[in-house]
Amino acid sequence: MTKKNIVVVGTQWGDEGKGKIVDLLTDRVAAVVRFQGGHNAGHTLVIGDKTTVLHLIPSGILRENVDCLIGNGVVVCPAALTKEVTQLEETGLKVKQRLKISDACPIILDYHVALDQAREIARGKKAIGTTGRGIGPAYEDKVARRGLRAGDFKNMFKFKEKLAAIVEYHNFMLVNFYKTEAVKFDQLWEKCKIYEKLITPMLADISSLIANYNAQGKNIMFEGAQGTLLDIDQGTYPFVTSSNTTAGGASSGSGIGPCELDYVLGITKAYTTRVGAGPFPTELCYDVEKDVGDEIGKILGTRGHEFGATTGRQRRCGWFDAVALRRSAQVNGLTGICLTKLDVMDTLVEIKVCTHYIVNGKKTLLPPTSADEYELVEPQFVTMKGWQSSTLGVNSWDDLPREAKKYIRYLEQEIGVTVAILSTGADRAETLVLADPFDS
């Protein structure tokens, strides 16, 4: 069998269950590469009675023989990295020996967090719904060519000079525009001296490491964070994240040539969720704190445990949106889909699928390109019969309820992509592989 470079991406607004699938498939890879996002990601891995939540470190870290690489497309928060490394090593994992970080990774520091939070407060009701962790401002510094990068830790004399200039620049905005407190340089500098000791030994040329694995015929997994509809270019702008979450980001965010990517696996919930503000045509509104709203929305949110692994925020829930998935299939070049959380809908009498939108009286099969245009969208649904029996842990296609199989086949027909993997529960073992990506 020849080597395979497989890209795993979310096809909706994130939280589709990417971490579990990356962890599952890494038994046959030499390395897992994160290629975008930051510690705003939350990947939950369940193995037996043990649950592990990862934010920045690639999901392959639980496999002892797998190297974990953080590519240049990821913004790295040293404080968050320190916490995550410490927690994992306390469980016996040898993280520092297996984790490598690109010299070119932008660094998130205190002023990024302060700016992120100040902006959301200033926006008021128009807030984007960021995690407030400095992700966006760090990407801004990268594009503006003023940011510090992981490789700058190799020369702390120059690092200090650059840090002083950046702190002065951002403090001007924090104090004079947002009317909030300035970031104290001396305190931040002391933190950076500690961060240097952690990060410098793990710095590496990630692109060259990838090339070496490929030259040896070894498989590599490329792990995305967030989801396609949050892509800075392809998503529901401006209610998006600050990086390229699509399969193309695997190339630019790690340093591998696009022709070296062999398979794109799109992780897709059997329904739809979204965290934070922004368009959501198929939403079934339910407020968990007030216990009011749509009953189906309540069932999906409760049975699906729809709360963010990173933030704890309630996820908005709704019916499957085939219109959105067609866009994801298009911009990612999806080879196959992994359908997750089918069991969440086991009790439903009827299930709806959004097949198309009506916009200005016209039928459209693809979504708009900006959030403003969604105001005109009227989602159109097909109603299907529910299966009302358990699919949890089912390990054979033949054992699935007939109506559940009909639902899966209907989704394939609507989006034009085959379901290659079916996740039948949160545990690593609760997975039905219908078409192995490594054998395709």
- The DSSP bridge partners found for residue 353 are 320, 382
Please report, as a single letter, which amino acid is at residue 295.
E
23, 39, 43, 55: the active-site residue: 43
Which 3-state string (H, E, C) describes the chain?
CCCCEEEEEECCCCCCCHHHHHHHHHHHCCEEEECCECCCCCEEEEECCEEEEECCCCHHHHCCCCEEEECCCECECHHHHHHHHHHHHCCCCCHHHHEEEECCCEECCHHHHHHHHHHHHHHHHHCCCCCCCCHHHHHHHHHCCCCCEHHHHHCHHHHHHHHHHHHHHHHHHHHHCCCCCCCCHHHHHHHHHHHHHHHHHHEECHHHHHHHHHHCCCCEEEECCCCHHHCCCCCCCCCCCCCCCCCHHHHHCCCCCHHHCCEEEEEEECCEEECCCCCCCCECCEECCCCEECHHHHHHHHHCCCECCCCCCECEEECEEHHHHHHHHHHHCCCEEEEECHHHHCCCCEEEEEEEEEECCEEECCCCCCCHHHHHEEEEEEEEECCCCCCCCCCCHHHCCHHHHHHHHHHHHHHCCCEEEEECCCECCCEEECCCCCCC
**43 is an active site residue:** yes
Helix 156-176 with 185-199: angle, nearest 10 deg:
140
Which residues have a catalytic role annotated? 15, 43
